[in-house]
Each structure stands twice: as C-alpha cells, then as structure tokens.
Homo-oligomer: A and B are copies of this chain.
Amino acid sequence: MQNNAKKILVAMHLGNGYGSQPGAWRMPGVDPESFTNFDVMVKQAQAAERGKLHFLFFPDGPASERDIETQPPGPNIDVMMTMAAIARETKRIGLVATGSTTFNEPFNLARHFKALDVMSHGRAGWNAVTSSTDDTAAYYGKRIPSSEERYGRAHEMIQLMQALWGSWGKDAWVHNKENSEFTKKGAINAINLQGEYVGASGPLYVPPSAQGQPVIVHGGGSPNAHELAGRFANVVVGATFTIDDARAQRKAFRDAAKRYSRDPDEIKFFAGLMTTIAKDRRTALDRRIQLTESNFPERVAYLQRMLGIPLDINRLNEPLNQAQLTNARPSPYDPRSAHALKIAKEGWSLRDIIAHGVIDYHPVIVGPGVEAADHMQEWFEAGAVDGFWITPDVNADGIDAFVDEVVPILQQRGLFHEDYEGETFRANLGVPDQYGIDPRIMNHKNK
C-alpha cells in the first residue's frame, strides 16, 4: 500500500437517471419514471458517495439526438434543480453540473452555482462549456455563434462569474448580533465589469462557501478548450480512447495552465470510462446485448466503415472470417478502430464484438471489476490521466457494481483513497480554495 502516493480521482456520470445505454430504462429493477423521480437520483448519488467517489457529473445539452419514442432523452431533467436535491441528501461528494457559457446570463448562472456551493457546504463545480450545436441554439431561437465568439464569450463569462463569486470577500460576512455588524465595512465590492459579450455590476449577494467558490470544470478537447481550461479550470472531463492521446491531451491542458502562470497540478485531467460490470466477461456481454440489441443494425453498418470490410447483419453469431480479418484496415478517422479490430481478432462473434462497446463514446469495460481496475491503473501509471469519469450502463445497479467491484480493488492496490480527505470538493481534489478571480491570471488579457 503506497498511502502517500498520488491517487486516482474518480467521478460518476449520472445523466438522465437511467444510465448510458438505450435499453437501461427497460431493465428489471429500473423505475421507468427514473427520469422524473428525484428519490431515484438521490439514491444514485448516495451510492456514489458510499464509494467515496470525488464528484457527480451532469453533462447537459440538446435532447434531440435520441429517438424519444423508444428511449429517454439523454440529458437530466434539470441539472441545477437535481443538484439542489442531491446537495441536501449527501455530505461529501462533489457536485458538478454543466452550464452553457453561450446561452446563460452570468448573473443568473453565478447565483445558481454559488447557492449550490453554499447549500452543499463547498461541494459545487461548474462545467463551463461552450454550446456547439444548432439543436442547442434552437432552444433559444438562435443560431450557434462562431467559434471565436463562443470562446470569447466563455472567457468573459468565467471571469465575470468568478468576479461575482468574489464580490463578498473571504471575511466579509461577519453577522455579529452584538454590534449589529452584518457585513464588514467596505468588504462587499461591486464588480462593474463590462466585456465585449457580457457584463455585470454586481455585487452578487451570496457569501463565500466553505471552499470559497465553485470549482471550474471544462468539458472539451480543442485548442480553444486547452486555452480556456488552462486559464480557469481545476478539472477537465475529456474524451479519449488511447493512452497516448490522453497523455497528449493532459499535457496540452497542463502546458496551457503554465502559460497562465498556474501550477499544472491544479488542473486534473479526467478520461471517460464506460462500464458494464458483471461476474465474468460472458455475463457482462449478455447484459450489454440485452441493453443495446435494438441498435445492432446501425452499429454493424458503422463497424463496417471502421474496419473497411463488408459485414453481414445476418451473421451476428459468427466471428469474422479469416478473409475479413486480413482485409480489415482500421479507419484513421476513428480512434476506436484499432481496438475494434483487436477485439475482432480475439475471435468473438460479430454480436459480441459490438457488445464489447467498440463503438461507444469512451473506452468500455465489459467484464469483471478487475478489468476496470486494470484499465484505470494502466492509464494512471502511464501519466495519461489524473482520474476517470465513469458512465455506468444502468445507474440502478451499475453504480453499486462499480463501488463494490472496482473501488475495493483500487483501494487494495493503494490507488484510491480510503475516505474523503476533507469536507469540500476542493479539499478532496487537492486544489486551493478560491475567492474571486485568480490573481495569477489577472495579467493575461483575453485574446
């Protein structure tokens, strides 16, 4: 046990309350109303907290990419309201919700997140993303702005929100009944910032939380994302399929942090990992087949393009033949292709190849907990990540499976903490408290 060594950070993605796989809502034991059942979502949060996971993560975005007649919408019903419910019924786990920098007013969003931070006693994080799809813009009767505008606004939004968060300084709130001093004289500052895209006078009348203010998180991977996250974020939730790519991404974010005079260890890079945990590979594959069978025709079609060979939807039970394996050429346009071919070469049937999750958004573990632990250890020890954000197949039992089957192995290997280090999200991440805009980045002008 290497108890003083750096440990893996782990987040849990709760999403719409069902889980990531299209059939999750129909699984036995799953409340088909999980989408609107806050008891269910609170219970899932508590399960993740039982495993000492560092934070819950709610992405957010358009609900249009799914066939709503047979599947639930992808996003959570309302990430802020759900987090408020969860905040009151958990104690230590961090609470990261996504909020668009493109389609929110800084004052409104700053207030919601600071209130969440205060009500959770210092456990909030804001995933500050730029909205990038026309579907999202249409919710607002608008078009997606250019990349330049989106990121220009994002830089201003984060600065403004942090300034608003800092408008009551660390020691501003005295609330001394004896001498009638509610706040310290002169300690509450208007901010009066007006940028090119957004402005606010402040002050925001919310005192500091136990960690000062919410943690900035960013989901993205482009050069613009490096710049934004390097400047402001303590957490990056990434999407990456290989150790080499993850290492390069992590380095890009750390280098960007240095450019803004920050300590690169203050920015933690999280790779995604999807899980179907079961007692053995076969049981896990069967579970995934049950969850995704309706999507098989489109997945077979897609796999053909990934491998550059024709595949027969009527031969799902058969492994690829020697000719197919010989002719297969992993597509250079899809970073998952090499892994898909590796699985195919292991001799699995076409159905099982797909059930390995070779066409999912992140690397997928389909098997016993030790396979997840091995994957995490390998990436972590290769310097590719600081942590992982886990997306279970079915929340109802997939969170418990991770907590019961993966966490203990990581702990035994000295790779995961035995308990929360502190009371706040920042304490548990190992990043400093913050009050207002980080002075180190003040001298760096918006580009």
Closest partner residue, chain B, to A135 (CB atom):
B201
0/1 string, A96-123, CB within 8 A of B gives 1: 0000000111111001101110110000
Shortest CB distance A398–B (Å): 18
**In the complex, A291 has a CB within 8 A of chain B:** no
Q: How far is the CA of A36 from the CA of B205 in the complex (A)?
A: 11
CB distance B139 to A201 under 8 Å? yes
A107 and B140 in contact, given A81-B115, A84-B81, A118-B77 (Cβ under 8 angstroms):
yes
Further pairs besides A32-B177, A81-B81: 6, Cβ < 8 Å: A25-B177, A78-B206, A85-B85, A85-B88, A103-B108, A105-B105
A115 in complex: contacting residue of B77, B118, B199, CB < 8 Å: B77
Q: A142 contacts the other chain (Cβ, under 8 Å)?
A: yes
* Chain B minimum-CB-distance residue to A175: B32
Asked if A262 is at the interface (CB within 8 A of a chain B CB), the reply is no
Contact A111 B202 (CB under 8 A): no
Considering only CB atoms, which chain B residue lies closest to A27 in the complex? B177
B78/A141 in contact, CB under 8 A: no
Q: Which residues of B contact A199 (CB under 8 A)?
A: 140-142
Does A408 lie at the interface of the complex (its beta carbon under 8 Å from any beta carbon of B)? Answer: no
- Chain B CB within 10 Å, residue with most, of A33, A72, A78: A78
Residues of A within 8 A of B (CB): 25-26, 32-33, 35-36, 38, 42, 63, 68-73, 75, 77-78, 80-82, 84-85, 87-89, 103-108, 111-112, 114-116, 118-119, 138-142, 175-177, 180-185, 188, 193-194, 198-202, 205-207, 294
- Most chain B beta-carbon neighbours within 10 Å: one of A32, A72, A108: A108
Task: Give the docked Cα–Cα distance between A118 and B40 (Å).
Answer: 14
List the B side residues contacting A35 at CB < 8 Å: 207
Once the chains are docked, how many angstroms separate the CA of A139 from the CA of B160? Answer: 11
B141:A68 contact, CB within 8 angstroms: no
Copies of this chain held together in the complex: 2
B108 touches A182 (CB 8 A): no
- Asked whether A194 lies within 8 Å of B88 as measured between CB atoms, the reply is no
Collect the chain B residues with CB atoms within 8 Å of residue A200's CB.
138-141
Question: Do A108 and B115 have beta carbons less than 8 Å apart?
Answer: no
Evaluate whether A75 and B140 lie within 8 angstroms (CB atoms) in the complex, with A69-B185, A188-B68 already known.
Answer: no
Residues of B contacting A25 in the complex (Cβ-Cβ under 8 angstroms)? 175, 177, 182
Which residues on the B side are within 8 Å of A75 (C-beta)? 205
Q: How far is the CA of A70 from the CA of B77 in the complex (A)?
A: 40
A193 / chain B contacts, CB cutoff of 8 Å: 141
Q: State the Cβ distance, A401 to closest chain B Cβ, in Å.
A: 21
Contact B26 A177 (CB under 8 A): yes
User: Can you list 28 A-B contacts with CB-CB less than 8 angstroms, sorted by A residue number?
Assistant: A25-B182, A35-B207, A36-B118, A68-B182, A69-B181, A70-B181, A77-B205, A78-B111, A78-B115, A80-B81, A81-B112, A81-B116, A81-B119, A82-B115, A84-B84, A85-B85, A85-B119, A88-B88, A103-B108, A104-B105, A106-B140, A107-B139, A108-B108, A138-B200, A138-B201, A139-B200, A140-B199, A141-B200
Shortest Cβ distance from residue A188 to the other chain B in the assembled complex, whole angstroms: 6
Chain B residues with CB under 8 Å of A84's CB are 80-81, 84-85
Q: Is the CB of A201 within 8 A of B105?
A: no
Contacts of A87 in B (CB 8 A): 85
CA distance A84 to B36 in the complex (A): 13
Task: Note all chain B residues with C-beta closer than 8 A to A80.
Answer: 80-81, 84, 112
Q: Give Cα A194–Cα B139 distance, bound, in whole angstroms.
A: 11
The reply to whether A73 and B119 form a contact with Cβ atoms under 8 Å apart is: no
Residues of B within 8 A of A85 (CB): 84-85, 87-88, 119
Q: Give Cα A87–Cα B180 distance, bound, in whole angstroms.
A: 33
- A176 CB, min distance to chain B CBs, angstroms: 8
CB pair B119–A38 under 8 Å, yes or no, is: yes
